[in-house]
């Protein structure tokens, strides 16, 4: 229920639209195509006509006829004796092709073609173009002709192929063919001569290389002979055999055995010398020497005498130990034992000295053998090493000789290949690496102009200009033409789109009474769709009063008020319409009621609200008109506290209060009322208001007390193929079938 205004935080003003060049906004290409498809089709037709006319006019004024001569390039010819696949060097092919492209239209070729074919250029029956290069005496001016030829000839490598092409372009097909033939003949003749000279030039360095290699071969042969002579080698087979190896094989174990013998004697000598240097000067004789001495006859005889005396002593033991005879025997035994010990020592010393001397003599003899055998082995080994080095050097010389001989053979084969592959012709269309793929011929169609070129260019030109004009027009047109244009204004809610009148496909009615008199029409359905979000928002917030503001005169605010109110009344709501448009009231005319008393009289305190409210012919719908002209001449009363009291009063009696006001661009009445009502909506007419105006009014309404709910776009024209047209037709068909 409405009451006196309370403090409400104003809505944040809309932010400016995203920056774009010159303030332009994006356009919908699909919408643009649907809207202007007829113009684009006409542009295509006009462009086709322009292309046809251009083809005809240019064909008469500046025709161009082009003769093309094409050559195929092959890799360098391979010697047939080599066999195997031909490996193509891409870099060499590219260099060769680029070189020939420059040669075929070089000044030298063109000049010689002019000079050698001067009679043809002078005869206009043969080459009409030639009249342009004749001097005052009727002779060919080579300088002028060369300059003119540079402008009409061209050459290139056909991309991705091994083809060369040169072209001649003139305004006559016969002239282009004749000139191309003269240049081709000169180039072909020059190529034959060039390829022949190339073969001669290639043979000279090969001959020089063969001579150098033969001299190197002779030097290697002399070095081989001298090497064998210095080493006294007559037979390589015997030298490389097993004689030296057998000698070294036999000497090696002998040297090893001699070294082992020397080592054995030296070890024995060191042992004997160590024995002779025992403690106290006593020689520690080895056991084997003692065994030998024990078998010595002298020692054996002494041992036998001692044993005999001992046996005799044992035999006379009954005489007693003190018997003189036994004492004598013991003294003789002791003397014999001393003599035996002395004999042993003497014999051991003699034998030890003899063995030591024998060991020393054996060591000297072994050393002599070792030295002799070692010298023989060293001599044999050195000889073997010399022979091995000699053979290795000889083998390397042989390898070098074989390599040089192979190089000589290769160069000789190259000479033979040059001889076989140079100046090879394949009839009149083939010479060496070039083959005439397409000879000069009279062209059968113009190179310029061609219908396949002028027709698309004409169509594209006309279509591009038309599309550019339409796009520029759309970009520069700031008017609101449809709902998509509102997307350029940030935070602006679109409540609905109302189509223009006359598109329902059913019974027609004034737009203000569309809901009442044509309830099944497109306009009534559009207002139904608008009313749904409005009612939802107002119900959620508890709003009762709704201000409908027109952006400018003729926007359709009155129609919106009538249809929203009528639709709400049809849903069993008690609805009051207030005509607050003191400047041009019209609600009383729509419903054919009296002009007063009305809001003007209530604000002037000449009557009450109950006395001023009138019942309309629509159930549940009442009207508080603007009042008589004398009482509504003071619009400032709309911003007084009394206006708030009136709204509070009617809010308690009605479910919905819908208020019509003056357009926002005419006066400030709408903004004064927006500070007194609960909420407001803005009505704009398509193709009338501009985006800047809508944004400004939206900002002003957003800063008032009443909540700004959104925008209704009125009077939108329906395109023939647009979705709105299809929906309207479908709805009309559905209603009729029912």
Rounded to whole angstroms, how far apart are CA atoms 696 and 14? Answer: 9
Q: Which two tokens stand for residue 167?
A: 């072209």
On whether residue 361 sits in a domain, the answer given is yes
- The whole-model pTM stands at 0.46
480 within 8 A of 684, measured Cβ to Cβ? yes
Q: Which residues span the domain enclosing 403?
A: 243-421
604 within 8 A of 578, measured Cβ to Cβ? no
Q: Is 687 left (phi over 0), alpha (psi -120 to 50) or beta?
A: left
Residue 86 gets which letter from DSSP?
Answer: P
Residue 71 gets which letter from DSSP?
Answer: E
Residue 503 has pLDDT above 60, yes or no: no
Residues in the chain: 738
Average pLDDT (359-383) is: 83
Q: Which residues of 235-256 are buried (b: 16+ CB within 10 A; e: fewer)?
A: eeeebeeeebeebeeebeebbe
Domains in the chain, number: 3
Same domain, 341 and 400: yes
Q: Is 597 left (phi over 0), alpha (psi -120 to 50) or beta?
A: beta
177 within 8 A of 441, measured Cβ to Cβ? yes
Same domain, 589 and 666: yes
> Strand order of the sheet with strand 679-685?
494-499, 707-716, 679-685, 545-550, 656-660, 575-579, 621-624, 614-615
Same domain, 411 and 459: no
Average pLDDT (162-179) is: 92
Q: Which of 721, 691, 725 is nearest to 36 (CA)?
A: 721
Weakest mean pLDDT among 35-39, 195-199, 541-545, 678-682: 195-199
Q: Which of 677, 663, 671 is nearest to 583 (CA)?
A: 663
SS3 state at 658: strand
Residue 11 gets which letter from DSSP?
Answer: P
Weakest mean pLDDT among 123-132, 281-290, 316-325, 689-698: 281-290
On whether residue 222 sits in a domain, the answer given is no
Residue 368 has pLDDT above 60, yes or no: yes
398 within 8 A of 392, measured Cβ to Cβ? no
Q: Which of 569, 603, 597, 573 is nearest to 673 (CA)?
A: 603
On whether residue 656 sits in a domain, the answer given is yes
Average pLDDT (171-180) is: 91
Residue 1 has pLDDT above 50, yes or no: no
Same domain, 546 and 642: yes
Give the CA dihedral 207, 208, 212, 214, nearest 10 degrees: 20
Measured in whole angstroms, the distance separating CA 186 from the mean position of its chain's CA atoms is 48
- What pLDDT sits at residue 508? 58
Kindly report the number of other CB atoms within 10 A of residue 450's CB atom: 14
On whether residue 347 sits in a domain, the answer given is yes
419 within 8 A of 152, measured Cβ to Cβ? no
Angle between helices 287-294 and 324-421 (to 10 degrees): 130
- What pLDDT sits at residue 163? 94
On whether residue 130 sits in a domain, the answer given is no
On whether residue 456 sits in a domain, the answer given is yes
Residue 560's CATH number? 3.40.50.300
Contacts of 354 (CB under 8 A, 6+ apart): none
- What pLDDT sits at residue 729? 53
614 within 8 A of 593, measured Cβ to Cβ? yes
Q: What angle do CA 376, 378, 383 make, to 5 degrees?
A: 95
Same domain, 518 and 388: no
- Whose tokens are 């055995």? That residue is 257
On whether residue 191 sits in a domain, the answer given is no
Share of the chain above pLDDT 70, in %: 82
Residue 163 parent element (H or E): strand 163-170
Burial class (CB in 10 A: 0-12, 13-18, 19+), 9: exposed
Same domain, 394 and 494: no
Confidence band, pLDDT 50/70/90 cuts, at residue 495: confident
Residue 622 has pLDDT above 90, yes or no: yes
Weakest mean pLDDT among 237-246, 280-289, 406-415: 237-246
Residue 711 parent element (H or E): strand 707-716
Same domain, 353 and 417: yes
Rounded to whole angstroms, how far apart are CA atoms 113 and 108? Answer: 9
Confidence band, pLDDT 50/70/90 cuts, at residue 8: very low
On whether residue 159 sits in a domain, the answer given is no
Same domain, 535 and 663: yes
Residue 278 has pLDDT above 70, yes or no: no
Kindly report the number of other CB atoms within 10 A of residue 258's CB atom: 20
Rounded to whole angstroms, how far apart are CA atoms 193 and 709? Answer: 93
- What pLDDT sits at residue 425? 55
Rounded to whole angstroms, how far apart are CA atoms 562 and 567? Answer: 8
Q: What is the 3-state secondary structure (H, E, C) of 216-257?
A: HHHHHHHHHHHHHHHCCCCCHHHHCCCHHHHHHHHHHHHHHH
Measured in whole angstroms, the distance separating CA 158 from the mean position of its chain's CA atoms is 27
Q: Is 528 left (phi over 0), alpha (psi -120 to 50) or beta?
A: alpha
- The per-residue DSSP string of 382-433 comes to HHHHHHHHHHHHHHHHHHHHHHHHHHHHHHHHHHHHHHHHTT-B-STTEETT
Residue 4 has pLDDT above 80, yes or no: no
Same domain, 454 and 497: no
Rounded to whole angstroms, how far apart are CA atoms 422 and 419? Answer: 6
SS3 state at 613: coil
Residue 6 parent element (H or E): none
Beta strands 621-624 and 575-579 are: parallel
- Whose tokens are 């023989």? That residue is 376
Same domain, 247 and 391: yes
Same domain, 399 and 466: no
Q: Which two tokens stand for residue 687?
A: 């193709």
- What pLDDT sits at residue 725? 55
Rounded to whole angstroms, how far apart are CA atoms 644 and 63? Answer: 85
Residue 127 has pLDDT above 80, yes or no: yes
Give the CA dihedral 711, 713, 714, 719, nearest 10 degrees: -170
Average pLDDT (202-210) is: 78
Average pLDDT (544-554) is: 89
- What pLDDT sits at residue 427? 59
Rounded to whole angstroms, how far apart are CA atoms 724 and 234? Answer: 117
pLDDT digits 0-9 by tens, 440-494: 998 989 888 888 888 899 889 988 888 888 777 666 666 666 666 666 676 678 8
pLDDT digits 0-9 by tens, 215-260: 988 988 888 888 777 766 666 555 555 566 777 778 788 888 888 8
Same domain, 572 and 513: yes
Cα dist from 20 to 14, 17, 489, 553, 629, whole Å? 17, 9, 13, 30, 48
Q: Which of 354, 669, 706, 697 is nearest to 544 (CA)?
A: 706
- What pLDDT sits at residue 25? 52
Beta strands 679-685 and 656-660 are: unpaired
């Amino acid at each position: 229920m409405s009451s006196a205004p309370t403090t409400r935080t104003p809505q944040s003003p809309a932010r400016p639209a995203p920056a774009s060049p010159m303030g332009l906004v994006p356009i919908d290409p699909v919408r643009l195509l649907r809207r202007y498809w007829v113009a684009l089709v006409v542009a295509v037709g006009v462009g086709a006509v322009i292309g046809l006319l251009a083809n005809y006019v240019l064909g008469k004024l500046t025709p161009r006829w082009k003769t093309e001569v094409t050559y195929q390039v092959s890799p360098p010819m391979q010697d047939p004796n080599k066999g195997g696949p031909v490996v193509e060097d891409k870099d060499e092919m590219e260099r060769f092709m680029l070189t020939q492209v420059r040669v075929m239209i070089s000044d030298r070729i063109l000049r010689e073609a002019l000079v050698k074919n001067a009679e043809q250029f002078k005869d206009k029956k043969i080459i009409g173009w030639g009249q342009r290069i004749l001097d005052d005496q009727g002779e060919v001016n080579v300088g002028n002709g060369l300059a003119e030829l540079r402008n009409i000839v061209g050459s290139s490598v056909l991309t991705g192929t091994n083809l060369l092409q040169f072209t001649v372009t003139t305004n006559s097909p016969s002239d282009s063919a004749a000139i191309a033939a003269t240049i081709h003949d000169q180039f072909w003749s020059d190529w034959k001569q060039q390829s022949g000279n190339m073969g001669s030039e290639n043979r000279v360095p090969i001959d020089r290389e063969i001579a150098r290699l033969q001299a190197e071969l002779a030097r290697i042969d002399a070095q081989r002979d001298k090497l064998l002579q210095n080493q006294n080698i007559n037979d390589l087979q015997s030298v490389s055999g097993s004689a030296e190896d057998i000698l070294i094989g036999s000497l090696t174990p002998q040297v090893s055995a001699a070294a082992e013998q020397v080592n054995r004697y030296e070890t024995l000598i060191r042992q004997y010398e160590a024995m002779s240097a025992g403690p106290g000067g006593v020689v520690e004789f080895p056991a084997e020497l003692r065994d030998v001495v024990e078998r010595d006859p002298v020692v054996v005889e002494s041992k036998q005498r001692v044993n005999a005396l001992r046996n005799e002593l044992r035999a006379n033991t009954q005489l007693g130990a003190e018997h003189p005879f036994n004492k004598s025997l013991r003294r003789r035994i002791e003397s014999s034992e001393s003599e035996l010990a002395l004999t042993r020592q003497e014999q051991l010393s003699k034998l030890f000295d003899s063995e030591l001397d024998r060991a020393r003599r054996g060591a000297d003899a072994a050393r002599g053998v070792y030295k002799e055998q070692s010298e023989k082995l060293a001599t044999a080994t050195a000889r073997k090493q010399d022979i091995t080095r000699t053979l290795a050097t000889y083998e390397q010389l042989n390898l070098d000789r074989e390599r040089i001989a192979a190089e000589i053979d290769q160069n000789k084969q190259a000479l033979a290949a040059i001889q076989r592959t140079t100046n090879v012709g394949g009839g009149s269309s083939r010479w060496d690496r070039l083959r005439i793929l397409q000879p000069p011929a009279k062209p059968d169609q113009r190179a310029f102009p061609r219908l396949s070129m002028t027709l698309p260019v004409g169509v594209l030109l006309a279509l591009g200009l038309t599309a550019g004009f339409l796009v520029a027009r759309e970009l520069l047109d700031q008017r609101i033409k449809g709902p998509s244009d509102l997307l350029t204004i940030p935070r602006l809610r679109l409540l609905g789109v109302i189509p223009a009148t006359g598109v329902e496909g059913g019974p027609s009615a004034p737009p203000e009474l569309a809901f009442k008199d044509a309830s099944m029409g497109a306009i009534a359905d559009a207002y139904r769709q608008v009313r749904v979000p409005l009612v939802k928002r107002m119900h959620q917030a508890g709003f009762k009063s709704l201000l409908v503001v027109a952006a400018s005169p003729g926007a359709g605010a009155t129609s919106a008020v009538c249809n929203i109110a009528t639709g709400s009344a049809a849903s069993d709501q008690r609805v009051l319409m207030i005509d607050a448009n003191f400047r041009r009231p019209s609600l009383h005319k729509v419903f054919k009621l009296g002009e007063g008393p009305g809001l003007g009289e209530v604000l002037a305190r000449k009557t009450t609200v109950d006395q001023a409210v009138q019942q309309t012919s629509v159930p549940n719908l009442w009207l508080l008109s603007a009042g008589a002209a004398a009482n509504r001449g003071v619009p400032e009363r709309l911003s007084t506290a009394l206006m708030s009291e009136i709204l509070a009063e009617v809010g308690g009696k009605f479910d919905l209060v819908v208020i019509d006001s003056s357009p926002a661009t005419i006066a400030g009445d709408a903004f004064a009322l927006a500070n007194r009502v609960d909420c407001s909506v803005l009505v704009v007419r398509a193709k009338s208001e501009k985006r800047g105006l809508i944004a400004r009014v939206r900002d002003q309404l957003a800063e008032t007390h009443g909540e700004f709910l959104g925008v209704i776009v009125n009077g939108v024209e329906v395109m023939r193929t647009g979705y709105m047209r299809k929906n309207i037709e479908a709805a009309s068909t559905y209603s009729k079938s029912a």
